[in-house]
Chains A and B, each alone.
Chain A
């Protein structure tokens, strides 16, 4: 007999709590021997999480941090080399059809109902519009325990359990620019000739390009996250011309490269990730994660389970997922500027000041530190882009994999070689 989520909800959360949270009692003795191998990007694969898992749950979690491309390769080609894949939703679109991951039973996820709407029906608030690109909810569900496709609506089977997400924008050096920056179009402004940069990861870079071309009024896309060949050609033509005119200083591929470009002043405006901004700031160099009027390019990550996981290991993995969504990790991530998939549980693990600054977009009452003790903001400062609902509500598109991905990659190679 299969229980749909709806039926389950009727039977009440008490039953759900009993079936999931009660379980550890039974196998608490054996669990100490369990080791789960997790890999993913450096964003969320942190040793602090592994240590806390050992303390709270008793089993061992081995973390491996890789770059996005390596994560995709590993998930797609080496299914037996991991138990838990911490991957991004756009990568999921490439990895899920390989059948290397197993669908997750929603009824075993205690906090499922508290997960924010963007991961379930795509809507942050009931009236919000769904952004373009590979929005997480479009690849978040599959049709059954053995499904290799994506379901259009919520089912009892999730592909990834959402964990972390953020809204990305351009990073700038306010001291070297000296005027307000309001639009994505500024990236190709000749004023910054030889001082601009984008990232050399095609799937993400093309989205930034699209934001710029649209802001310039050059191209009106049907869906930035799923371009036609003609749209790809036009986008690449605009950027190739800019490249040949010497607009770019360099392209970056790794986190460190983006930090160095910005900190050394080689570049004054570039696509960037929020922790990289923090890294530049922590060197005492002014750097702003500039909110832009066209909105954000967003990304989300989640946890997937290896197909070969079963028995006690599978139980431990579910236990881990439930623990992940129960607040401690959420607080840890949110104090670095990311968002938790279940914000309300993380609130318990954050001070009122922290919650106000990171989530509500309020002024910091006292200095804000990240989980590693570095000061991120002084009293009186507010977060770039404001509150959770302001930021996530202004997402224009999600990182995506297009139908014409292969064509786009070839065009990207041409762009680099041009």
Chain B
């Protein structure tokens, strides 16, 4: 059996699974996005109506902009926190047992569901919530702060809380594989702490940062429930636009929005992958 045929046969089961469960549904979504719909029926007639409406409405641009805003801010915070946590775990905690214990500690919040972790912020941040009453009793404020809950602040806080671990894990992973003798060599050559961090550790951690970034950006851009609950339904991102359409039986319109979102996310990932060759780095 020629080698190429053999490898072809070896990938074919996975390829078949991917084809049926990933490629075909996406193709279906793309097809439906060109159909028309009324309240109770979908009309399989080719039409650009959905896209025309999508690109013709100022709401679309506003909502996409909002989606990018959430993604960018969340990314910045999760990166800063994730990198710091991973750095601490990888370079400051000496014993491996301690590393494992602390790492597991990071995952404890993941023992409950996303929604529960999100909802638990609501009584905390509310007008008469714990945060406000603590600030009031400390005399920092004399009126409850209103913007803590049902605001962009609340949305981003929840995102950072939910997704920081997705940054910690890949960064920690790549940091652990950095050859410690490189750091020693840098120190012997007279580099200061910040210089080692910036010139040695950060470049070598880039694949982890990229993987973490892809996780966080795709999760935030695809999310709809966090934005709905934490903003008190007062803000929208693309995910919410799609879920609203689906709830109202506007499947073709939802499909068109989904196609545009998919293309956008793929473009973002494409740009990110330009910065680092993941295949080489792994």
Q: Which residues of A contact B (CB under 8 A)?
A: 69-70, 72-73, 76-77, 94-95, 97-98, 194, 197, 200, 202, 243, 248-253, 260, 264-266, 401, 405-406, 409-410, 412-414, 416-418
Known: A94-B39, A265-B128, A405-B39. A416 touches B249 (CB 8 A): no
Q: Please name 7 further chain A to chain B contacts, defined as beta carbons within 8 Å, in addition to the given A97-B39, A413-B59, sorted by A numbering.
A: A69-B247, A73-B246, A250-B231, A250-B234, A264-B123, A266-B126, A417-B236
In angstroms, how far is the closest chain A Cβ from the Cβ of B38? 8
Answer yes or no: B233 CB below 8 A from chain A CBs.
yes
Cα–Cα, bound, A414→B53 (Å): 13
In angstroms, how far is the closest chain A Cβ from the Cβ of B31? 17
> What is the chain B residue whose CB lies nearest that of A95?
B40
A251 close to B40 (CB less than 8 A)? no
Known: A94-B40, A416-B240. A410 touches B122 (CB 8 A): no
B248 close to A98 (CB less than 8 A)? no
Answer yes or no: B241 CB below 8 A from chain A CBs.
yes
Most buried by A among B41, B57, B62, B244: B244
Q: Which residues of B contact A73 (CB under 8 A)?
A: 246-247, 249
Q: Which residues of B contact A70 (CB under 8 A)?
A: 247
Cα–Cα, bound, A320→B233 (Å): 39
A243 close to B234 (CB less than 8 A)? yes
Cα–Cα, bound, A248→B231 (Å): 11
The 5 closest A-B pairs by CB, nearest first: A250-B232, A251-B233, A69-B247, A417-B236, A200-B233
Select which of A69, A97, A194, A243 is within 8 A of B248 by beta carbon. Answer: A69
Cα–Cα, bound, A266→B53 (Å): 36
B249 close to A417 (CB less than 8 A)? no
In angstroms, how far is the closest chain B Cβ from the Cβ of A150? 13
Cα–Cα, bound, A156→B128 (Å): 57
Cα–Cα, bound, A417→B244 (Å): 12
Answer yes or no: B235 CB below 8 A from chain A CBs.
yes
Answer yes or no: B281 CB below 8 A from chain A CBs.
no
In angstroms, how far is the closest chain A Cβ from the Cβ of B118? 13
Most buried by A among B62, B126, B234, B250: B234
Give how many B residues have a beta carbon under 8 Å from the other chain's beta carbons. Answer: 34
**Can you offer 30 A-B residue contacts whose CB atoms are under 8 A?**
A69-B247, A69-B248, A72-B249, A73-B249, A76-B40, A94-B40, A194-B146, A248-B232, A250-B150, A250-B231, A250-B232, A251-B232, A251-B233, A251-B234, A252-B233, A264-B123, A264-B127, A265-B128, A409-B250, A410-B57, A412-B244, A413-B241, A413-B244, A414-B59, A416-B233, A416-B234, A416-B235, A416-B236, A417-B236, A417-B241
Q: Which residues of B contact A410 (CB under 8 A)?
A: 53, 57
In angstroms, how far is the closest chain A Cβ from the Cβ of B255? 14
B248 close to A417 (CB less than 8 A)? no
Q: Which residues of B contact A197 (CB under 8 A)?
A: 232
Q: Which residues of B contact A251 (CB under 8 A)?
A: 232-234
B215-255 Cβ-contact flags toward A at 8 Å (1 or 0): 00000000000001001111110001100101111100000
Answer yes or no: B114 CB below 8 A from chain A CBs.
no
Known: A200-B233, A202-B248, A266-B149. A98 touches B40 (CB 8 A): yes
Select which of A252, A264, A406 is within 8 A of B39 by beta carbon. Answer: A406
In angstroms, how far is the closest chain B Cβ from the Cβ of A25? 40
Answer yes or no: B191 CB below 8 A from chain A CBs.
no
Cα–Cα, bound, A328→B233 (Å): 39
Cα–Cα, bound, A406→B253 (Å): 11
Cα–Cα, bound, A417→B246 (Å): 17
In angstroms, how far is the closest chain A Cβ from the Cβ of B71? 17
In angstroms, how far is the closest chain A Cβ from the Cβ of B39? 5
Cα–Cα, bound, A197→B234 (Å): 10
B155-198 Cβ-contact flags toward A at 8 Å (1 or 0): 00000000000000000000000000000000000000000000
Answer yes or no: B66 CB below 8 A from chain A CBs.
yes
Answer yes or no: B63 CB below 8 A from chain A CBs.
yes
Cα–Cα, bound, A233→B189 (Å): 70
B63 close to A417 (CB less than 8 A)? yes
Cα–Cα, bound, A76→B249 (Å): 9
A417 close to B62 (CB less than 8 A)? yes
> What is the chain A residue whose CB lies nearest that of B247?
A69
Q: Which residues of A contact B235 (CB under 8 A)?
A: 416-417
In angstroms, how far is the closest chain A Cβ from the Cβ of B209? 32
> What is the chain A residue whose CB lies nearest that of B39?
A94
Q: Which residues of A contact B236 (CB under 8 A)?
A: 413, 416-417
In angstroms, how far is the closest chain B Cβ from the Cβ of A286? 16
> What is the chain B residue whose CB lies nearest that of A202?
B248
In angstroms, how far is the closest chain A Cβ from the Cβ of B12? 34
